[in-house]
Amino acid sequence: AQKITQTQPGMFVQEKEAVTLDCTYDTSDPSYGLFWYKQPSSGEMIFLIYQGSYDQQNATEGRYSLNFQKARKSANLVISASQLGDSAMYFCAMREAPHTGGFKTIFGAGTRLFVKA
């Protein structure tokens, strides 16, 4: 069965420092997509970054980068130069390729990030 695991319930980081949020996944499907979303206290899920299973290079979006290690089935999010506004819940998610004309996306339990001034 497909599974996403985020083992860090909470993380603290000093403002302007980098932080890595861990994510491991399990799937038997060779084609899948990995996502990271940010959820502030307002509740809205904000898309951060995407990595396809066949992508050769790690994805980057501004201060966000995804450290994709396919053999280890890990997709860690790295946030560089943390800002106070980065304090939020962060979810790792996996989407499998369509089998019946649609696809499911499963989410991990999330990591709450606290950025200290």
Query: Cβ of residue 2: shortest distance to another protein, in angstroms?
Result: 11
- Is residue 87 within 8 A of residue 19, CB to CB? The reply is no
Decide whether 57 or 71 has the Cβ nearer to another protein. 57
How many Cβ atoms are within 10 Å of 102's Cβ, its own excluded? 6
Query: Which among 55, 61, 63, 62 has a CA at the least distance from the CA of 19?
Result: 63
Size of the site for another protein (CB under 8 A): 26
**Per CB under 8 A, 27 contacts another protein:** no
**Per CB under 8 A, 106 contacts another protein:** yes
Query: Cβ of residue 76: shortest distance to another protein, in angstroms?
Result: 17
- Is residue 20 within 8 A of residue 76, CB to CB? The reply is yes
How many Cβ atoms are within 10 Å of 64's Cβ, its own excluded? 16
**Per CB under 8 A, 64 contacts another protein:** no
**Per CB under 8 A, 97 contacts another protein:** yes
Query: Which among 66, 87, 89 has a CA at the least distance from the CA of 78?
Result: 66
**Per CB under 8 A, 44 contacts another protein:** yes
CA angle 28/49/113 to nearest 5° reads 100
**Per CB under 8 A, 43 contacts another protein:** yes
Residues that bind another protein (CB under 8 A): 4, 33, 35, 37, 42-47, 50, 91, 95, 97-98, 100-110
